[in-house]
Structure 1
Amino acid sequence: MTDNGGPNGNPVKRDAMGLGMAVVKRMAGSSLLDKVGLRKPVERALVGSTRAGFQAAGAASRAFTKVSKLRAPARPATPNASATFDLTPTEDEQLIASTVREFASEQLRPAAAQANEDCAPPDGLLAKTAELGLHTVAVPEELGGLATERSAIAGVLIAEELARGDMGLALACLAPSAVSTALSLWGDADQQATYLPAFLGERPPAAALALQEPRALFDPRQPRTRARRTPDGYRLDGTKSLVPLAGSAELFVVSAELEGRGPGLFLIEANTRGVRTEPEPAMGLRAAATGQLHLDGVRLAGSSLLGMAAGTEVLTECVRLSRLAWCALAVGTAQSVLDYVVPYVNEREAFGEPVSHRQGVAFRVADIGTELEGMRLATYRAASRAQQGLSYARETALARTLCAEKGMTIGSDGVQLLGGHGFTKEHPVERWYRDLRAIGLMEGAVLV
């Protein structure tokens, strides 16, 4: 690829280091590394790197304005399809996973219990996530992001590792990146120039992808939220539910049925007249500060429709990529359950020996490990096909079915293996059980 930053303004050629090294370069200049003890691992991966960026406007006074004129929208390149069936993450992807895992262990896990009680993430969490560059992983490099090519696998690994800290806080961290990913995949040149720069700074906007609606038998591909054409754009009416960061979000991507055209995605700024939010704490995912988004005669410009030239396929692909992300969250949380119960059953004694010596306990732990690997492989396979531009509808459906069913079973078994302790808040397994029940229900909110 070409870089115009060479001496005397001459273009220079440089090899694409891959998404993993790009993330590490962003991390290397972050003061957060010293706070959480990640400086040495990152410096071992990359020495002498520099970090570029700009300071975004403050959330309270932020105005999304076009900062440059793009001739055409930028998209991450699609990797060449591989003839070899291999779901092993590359070295760069493993580096991403390792670094995000340490971040989740240091920042999310200790804060999870209090965030669950507060029904909100701790102050400054989104800023810390932004310092790691996670909001720009899917943004094309030519727009200032980290993506040299499409990497759904990297998105899955990030979601999985964050969920090992806590699924609710992982959802809060990933909600803004769902919007930046949507803009990268489907936004036109003007939309990218107007909104993406805000996600590249150290204080990115809180944002959310809102597909879920409060009704029985909800089908995300057939939203009840309605969009009607007006002389100067569109008018939207409807309600979205379980929207992460609803009360603090500055930008929403909302699904709606457009009369005469079919379902689509719309960009809505939170300060638009007719937009109202209210808290909606749920059984799980409480740390994500979920709420309802009410749209009452919201008037939007004609440029607010995302992916205007792509038709209804945009919402279909959005739903699939979102479901893949939820599968990754399930895998990460289920891994936490397994990691927690194994030492517990080995150390907990009954009748003079560890309870793990009982076949009923040992077999149940083995079942968790077996089902978890099936969930992980199904999710990676679907993400790999999506990344290569291959059909992945069937694979995503299989992964979601498996993760929704087995994830809930793993959560229940985790509680059961702790006996009476599993029912108390002294141990985090009861929270993970509540979170895992969301996998078969939630739509939108996250994207890979």
Structure 2
Amino acid sequence: MPDHAAQPVERRLPTEEARDLLGLVRELIQREIRPTAAEEEEAGRFPRDLFRLLSDAGLLGLPYGEEFGGGGQPYEVYLQVLEELAAARLTVGLGVSVHTLACHALAAYGTKDQQAARLPAMLGGGLLGAYCLSEPASGSDAAAMTTKAVRDGDDWVLTGTKAWITHGGIADFYTVLARTGAPGARGITAFLVPGDAPGISAAAPERKMGMKGSPTSQVHFDGVRIPDAARIGDEGQGFSIALAALDAGRLGISACAMGVAQSALDEALAFTTDRRQFGRPLADFQGLRFMLADMATAIEAGRALYLSAARRRDAGLPFAKEAAMAKLFCTDAAMKVTTDAVQLLGGYGYTADFPAERYMREAKVLQIVEGTNQIQRVVIARHLAGPETPR
């Protein structure tokens, strides 16, 4: 059964340009994404041609500067576009978020020469990026990474394995964090590595419970040689670059979560309005009406939270705490909303003939990626009460 086409979310956008942009995005979604989303996800197909189309339309570089081919849009606008994409198909919305994350290091910390040489192709040249931070033995404790980059004359030689990499094996470029110095956060450096560099290989994609159309895999770097010009920022600056990227990336995950939750609510509302039991629509029963009301309230609250954090970012204000709060709240809310949507559809909700079960499976990963929600609580608490007392 195709996804229910609901009324578009009413959005407050800051400019006429942004309103026109959203209209074009909605047309593209209705034409290119929504009609085949369920079928493509069930088949586990990644829409590589669609990402080229998104690149041609300027949607892979929205929050970056126009001087290098970006869209020059504030995060407030970019995130609402991202939510619309994720509502149609999470593989697409999350893929755009990951690509944006992969571009962040170069856009924010690269030299002008590096940016001029690489950013136009990354932002609007049809390329697709991936972000390599986690490893098989270092997920939440990212500073414990063991992937190494060793100086060899004017080059660096990368060796190690990264894990849980969205677009692993198909990306055109990887932003890679690797150890160049002593143990700990201060010994990490960022690099921009071409996807076709000799020595890069990918393991078979992970077999996931959701987002089957988005490849996630380990990526191996076996003596990958790159020039020093591929280094982003100073030696030892990589971990702070990674954290800055994650702050922004968490807002992307928040927007994706609200997109999935909104689709689940739309589906539940359509079903309970149309389905009749005991001579009247399910939506007439107070217990079910209250569930719908709670779902809608959680979505509006999450949307307001991520947009508030985005506006802080756009204003140049600190937003790390607010980004962690948004990621925590929005993804927990998405899990609750999608679970309730399955419940409201009853037995139908548990079948793959309706999209509610897919939304529930997809929502789960959003509580894990780009910092688990337990890590978000650690981040928030540190901002409130300071670092934990050393043991």
**Normalised by the size of structure 2, how large is the TM-score?**
0.83
* Kept in 2: contact 1:222–1:263 (CA 8 A): no
Instruction: Provide structure 2 residue ranges, at least 5 long, that are not aligned to the other structure.
Output: 1-10, 372-391
Which of 192, 198, 213 is the equivalent residue of 2:115? 192
- When residues 411 and 225 of structure 1 are mapped into structure 2, their CA distance, relative to the original with a 3 A threshold, is farther
Instruction: Provide structure 1 residue ranges, at least 5 long, that are not aligned to the other structure.
Output: 1-86
Counterpart CA distance in 2 for 1:323 and 1:88 is 21
Which of 323, 334, 347 is the equivalent residue of 2:261? 334
Alpha-carbon shift at residue 373 of structure 1 (Å): 1.0
Give the structure 1 partner of residue 323 of structure 2: 396
Q: Which amino acid aligns with 1:345?
A: T
Looking at secondary structure, tell me which structure has more helix per residue. Answer: 2
**What's the RMSD between the two structures over aligned residues?**
2.4
Give the structure 2 partner of residue 358 of structure 1: 285
**Cα deviation code 1:315-349 (max 9, x no counterpart):** 11111111111011001111111111111101111
Alpha-carbon shift at residue 220 of structure 1 (Å): 4.1
Give the structure 2 partner of residue 432 of structure 1: 359
Q: Does 1:108 align with 2:41?
A: no
Alpha-carbon shift at residue 360 of structure 1 (Å): 1.9
* Kept in 1: contact 2:271–2:345 (CA 8 A): yes
Give the structure 2 partner of residue 409 of structure 1: 336
Give the structure 1 partner of residue 250 of structure 2: 323
**Cα deviation code 1:217-256 (max 9, x no counterpart):** 5234554433333433333333223323323222111222
**Cα deviation code 1:417-439 (max 9, x no counterpart):** 11111111111111111111111
Alignment of 1:113-152 (within 5 A): 113-122=38-47, 124-147=49-72, 151-152=74-75
Counterpart CA distance in 2 for 1:327 and 1:198 is 27
Q: Does 1:90 align with 2:14?
A: yes
Alignment of 1:70-81 (within 5 A): none
After the TM superposition, which segments of 4 or more aligned residues of structure 1 sit over 4 Å from their partners? none
**Normalised by the size of structure 1, how large is the TM-score?**
0.73
Q: Which amino acid aligns with 1:133?
A: G
**Cα deviation code 1:252-295 (max 9, x no counterpart):** 11222331443332111122222111222322222222222112
Equivalent pairs: percent with the same residue?
32
* Kept in 1: contact 2:190–2:231 (CA 8 A): yes
Counterpart CA distance in 1 for 2:65 and 2:98 is 18
Q: Which amino acid aligns with 1:297?
A: G
Alignment of 1:364-403 (within 5 A): 364-403=291-330
Alpha-carbon shift at residue 123 of structure 1 (Å): 5.2
Counterpart CA distance in 2 for 1:398 and 1:440 is 12
**Cα deviation code 1:339-386 (max 9, x no counterpart):** 111111011111111111222211111111111111111111111111
- When residues 283 and 151 of structure 1 are mapped into structure 2, their CA distance, relative to the original with a 3 A threshold, is same
Counterpart CA distance in 2 for 1:281 and 1:265 is 29
Give the structure 2 partner of residue 238 of structure 1: 160
**Cα deviation code 1:8-27 (max 9, x no counterpart):** xxxxxxxxxxxxxxxxxxxx
Give the structure 2 partner of residue 269 of structure 1: 194
Give the structure 1 partner of residue 181 of structure 2: 259
Give the structure 1 partner of residue 374 of structure 2: none
